[in-house]
Amino acid sequence: MKKLLIACLVAIPMFTAAQQKETLTPDKIYGELFSEIQLQKVFPDGKTFVDCTPKRKVADIMYDYGLAKGPGFDLKKFVADNFNLPATPTYNYTSNTKESLEAHIKNLWAVLKRNPDKTIEGSSLLPLPYPYIVPGGRFREIYYWDSYFTMLGLRESNEWGMIENMINNFAYLINTYGHVPNGNRSYYLSRSQPPYFAMMINLLADKKGPSIYAKYQKELQKEYDYWMDKTAATKHVATMPDGSSLTRFYDADIKPRQESFKEDYDIAKAQANGDEKAFEAKSKELRSGAESGWDFSSRWFADGKNISSIQTTNMVPVDLNGLMYNLEITLAKAYKQTGNVMEATALTAAAAKRKAAINKYCYSAKQNWYYDYNLATQKQSDEKTVAGVSPLLFNIAPKAAAAGIAKTLQADFLKPGGVVTTLKTTGQQWDAPNGWAPLQWMAVKGLENYGQKELAKDIAGRWVALNEKVYKNTGKMMEKYNVENAGLDAGGGEYKSQDGFGWTNGVYLAMKAKLLQWKNIKAPPAPASKVQPAKLQ
Catalytically active residues are 295, 479
Phi-psi region of 96 (alpha: psi -120 to 50; beta: other; left: phi over 0): beta
Q: Count Cα neighbours of 462 within 13 Å in the Cβ-side half-sphere.
A: 27
DSSP 8-state secondary structure symbol assigned to residue 535: P
- Report d(CA 450, CA 447) in Å as an integer: 5
| Segment (H or E) for 83 | strand 83-84
User: 3-class DSSP state for residue 23?
Assistant: coil
Which residues make beta-bridge pairs with 246? 238
Sign of CA dihedral 310, 313, 315, 317: positive
Residue among 37, 93, 99 nearest 62 (CA): 37
DSSP 8-state secondary structure symbol assigned to residue 87: P
| Residues contacting residue 396 through CB under 8 Å, at least 6 positions apart | 322, 325, 355, 358, 359
CB 312 within 8 A of CB 289: yes
Which residues make beta-bridge pairs with 418? 415
Distances (CA, A) of 2 to 5, 84, 280: 5, 31, 14
Helix/strand number for the chain, H first, E second: 21, 15
Q: Count Cα neighbours of 477 within 13 Å in the Cβ-side half-sphere.
A: 33
The terminus-to-terminus CA distance of the chain in angstroms comes to 104
- Report d(CA 294, CA 442) in Å as an integer: 14
Residue among 111, 260, 235 nearest 185 (CA): 260
- Report d(CA 209, CA 198) in Å as an integer: 15
CB 196 within 8 A of CB 244: no
Other C-beta atoms lying within 10 Å of the C-beta of residue 407: 14
Amino acid at 221: Q
Q: Count Cα neighbours of 366 within 13 Å in the Cβ-side half-sphere.
A: 2
Rg (CA), the chain: 24
Which ranges in 144-216 belong to alpha helices (H)? 144-156, 160-177, 197-208, 211-215
Instruction: Please provide the DSSP assignment of 25-81 as one string.
Output: -HHHHHHHHHHHHHHTTSSSSTHHHHT-EESS-HHHHHHHHHHH-STT--HHHHHHH
- Report d(CA 24, CA 21) in Å as an integer: 9
